[in-house]
């Protein structure tokens, strides 16, 4: 079946640094991928839609300059959290829909200290 | 506005008891419907999905869900809960317009008593 791989699974970084998270579709091509964020004990909120070969579409309230998304190929989307601060600590998860049913990555636990 | 409501934030059941997790949605048409389970610190695992057809869908781990159009509901059920079912459960709706965006409910945390 379709598999989406996300890396890293967890990362700890210092405040002010940038962190890159990768999302790969392993056995299918994904022209669109989605990035979600989940704060502790809360639901998943869509942050942005990553579009291969074009700019990402961000949901209202999400800072595009802080959360840089690059979808340079049909199997890879990256989310870079720039100048991370403790309030960016969260669980980030990507999804790729080969069809109506999307497949999710394993998620990345980001802790900014 | 499109939304998904899971009225129960926490549910506690005894092992072997039956379970029903509620999910109501607000959407312009019949959306794609999903139930996911998330163990602590883990990603999402798909339990079951509804696209069309039979309104009673079977999923993995003995779960089933029933789509009721008149009630805009998609409740998840399991006849006998196992201790390993303790986790967070999310109901989600997916766009049928081809964008495949998901809207998630707030989740229901299930605790299972031995």
> What confidence score (pLDDT) does residue B2 get?
84
Q: Which residues pair with A85 in a beta bridge?
A: none
> Band of the pLDDT at A2, cuts 50, 70, 90?
low
Residues whose CB is less than 8 angstroms from the CB of residue B48 and which lie 6 or more positions away in sequence, other chains included = B34, B35, B57, B58, B59, B60, B63, B64, B65, B76
Q: Give the mean pLDDT of A8-15.
A: 96
Contact state of A46 with B101 under an 8 Å Cβ cutoff: yes
Write out the E strands in A1-113: 4-7, 10-13, 19-25, 32-38, 44-51, 57-58, 67-73, 76-81, 90-96, 103-104, 108-112
Residue in chain B nearest A107 by alpha carbon: B43
> What confidence score (pLDDT) does residue B12 get?
97
Measured CA to CA, the distance from residue A68 to residue A62 in angstroms comes to 11
Closest CA to A21 of A74, A68, A73, A83: A68
> Band of the pLDDT at B42, cuts 50, 70, 90?
confident
Percentage, residues of chain A above pLDDT 90: 72
User: Rounded mean pLDDT of chain B?
Assistant: 92
What do you get for the CA distance between the two ends of chain B, in Å?
Answer: 41
> What confidence score (pLDDT) does residue A102 get?
80
> What confidence score (pLDDT) does residue A10 get?
94
DSSP-based three-state secondary structure for A87:
helix
Query: Cβ of A43 under 8 Å from any chain B Cβ?
Result: yes
Q: Give the mean pLDDT of A95-108.
A: 84
Residue of B101, B106, B110 to mutate, interface with A, max A Cβ within 10 Å = B101
Measured CA to CA, the distance from residue B6 to residue A52 in angstroms comes to 33
Q: Answer yes or no: is pLDDT of A98 > 80.
A: no
> What confidence score (pLDDT) does residue B95 get?
80
pLDDT in tens, A55-88: 999 999 999 999 999 998 999 999 999 999 999 9
Contact state of A43 with B107 under an 8 Å Cβ cutoff: yes
Q: Answer yes or no: is pLDDT of A33 > 80.
A: yes
Query: Cβ of A7 under 8 Å from any chain B Cβ?
Result: no
> What confidence score (pLDDT) does residue B75 get?
98
pLDDT in tens, B52-99: 899 999 999 999 999 999 999 999 999 999 999 999 999 999 887 767
Q: Answer yes or no: is pLDDT of A92 > 90.
A: yes
Measured CA to CA, the distance from residue B36 to residue B42 in angstroms comes to 12
Q: Give the mean pLDDT of A46-54.
A: 92
What's chain B's Rg over C-alpha atoms?
14
Q: Residue window 51-70, chain B: list those with CB within 8 Å of chain A.
A: 51
Query: Cβ of B96 under 8 Å from any chain A Cβ?
Result: yes
> What confidence score (pLDDT) does residue A1 get?
60
User: Rounded mean pLDDT of chain A?
Assistant: 92
CA distances from A111 to A14, A15, A83, A89, B44 (A): 9, 9, 13, 5, 20
Residues whose CB is less than 8 angstroms from the CB of residue A1 and which lie 6 or more positions away in sequence, other chains included = A103
């Amino acid at each position: 079946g379709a598999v989406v791989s996300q890396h890293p699974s967890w990362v700890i970084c210092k405040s002010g640094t940038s962190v890159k998270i990768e999302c790969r579709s392993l056995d299918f091509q994904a022209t669109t991928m989605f990035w979600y964020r989940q704060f502790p004990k809360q639901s998943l909120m869509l942050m942005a839609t990553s579009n291969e070969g074009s700019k990402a579409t961000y949901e209202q309230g999400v800072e595009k300059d802080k959360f840089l998304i690059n979808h340079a190929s049909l199997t890879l989307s990256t989310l870079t959290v720039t100048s991370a601060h403790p309030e960016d600590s969260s669980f980030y998860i990507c999804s790729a829909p080969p069809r109506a049913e999307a497949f999710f990555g394993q998620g990345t636990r980001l802790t900014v200290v | 506005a499109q939304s998904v409501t899971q009225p129960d934030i926490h549910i506690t059941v005894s092992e072997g008891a039956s379970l029903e997790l509620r999910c109501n949605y607000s959407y312009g048409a019949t959306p794609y419907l999903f139930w996911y389970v998330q163990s602590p610190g883990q990603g999402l695992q798909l339990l079951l999905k509804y696209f069309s057809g039979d309104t009673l869908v079977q999923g993995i781990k003995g779960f089933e869900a029933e789509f009721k159009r008149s009630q805009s509901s998609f409740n998840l059920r399991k006849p006998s809960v196992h201790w390993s079912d303790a986790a967070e459960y999310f109901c989600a709706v997916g766009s049928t317009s081809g964008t495949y965006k998901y809207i998630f409910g707030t989740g229901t945390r299930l605790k299972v008593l031995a």
